[in-house]
Structure 1
Amino acid sequence: MTMMTDPVHATSHPGWFSRSEAWLDSKGKGAWIAAMVLGFVFFWPIGLALLGYMIWSKRMFNTSCSRRSSWKSHRMAMSASTGNSAFDAYKADTLRRLEEEQTNFEAFLERLRDAKDKAEFDQFMNERAKKAERDASDDSNAA
């Protein structure tokens, strides 16, 4: 019996790890966390390995895995032609506009976060300068 190393054959039947990963992704971040907790409960190295994998693959810090995969499948379904050229043009224009609005909104949120960080840093620096002035005046009054 010969082993098949054909790349087409290998991708048509994903291994248990790929199937498990896809199943957990379809259930969302909660499923990943539950699997990690169960791994720690039953055999701690499994929980540790899952935690490491979740951090390495950035699953812990991204939005929900199920939303990401459903968005991909939704975009693929939306890109299919309906046969009506007017509707397809309208759909393409609407999707382009929505993606542009999403990009603009994400840029706005990033600017908002940056402004908040700057305001907090400026407040910290002002409080630090006031404390240094008070300490300097206390030292000069004591002398």
Structure 2
Amino acid sequence: MNQSALIRPDWTPATIALMVLGFIVFWPLGLAMLAYILFGERLGAFKRNANETVDRTFSNFRGFPGFSGRARAGFDTGNVAFDEWRETELTRLDEERRRLNAMREEFETYVRELRRAKDQEEFDRFMRERKFGQGGTVEGYTG
């Protein structure tokens, strides 16, 4: 996810303003915005898990005749060469999808760690400024 996005599941001025505005206009909108702020990070994982569950469930129906699943996988055309080629291609595409899903998960983990590091840096800067603001001195500061 892009950290520079104006509306993201985080406590930013834009999301807070939208939440307050939502409560003023129609309280369920404000409640929905609050839920997005609090639980928005989990939505991606929830959607991915739901999609994988549905894919596994419907993959059991591949062999049934008349099932209009992905490219009618259980339907034979009568041309053995074409049917073998189609199965090979579908298997290759499934492998490619699994590989891309793994890469996406790695990237999401990387972005999460990047966000955590940025948050840690901001927190450390806040603590330094707070310590300096309470009458403490910072080495090298002569002002």
Relative to the length of structure 1, the TM-score reads 0.45
Which protein is richer in helix relative to its size? 1
Relative to the length of structure 2, the TM-score reads 0.45
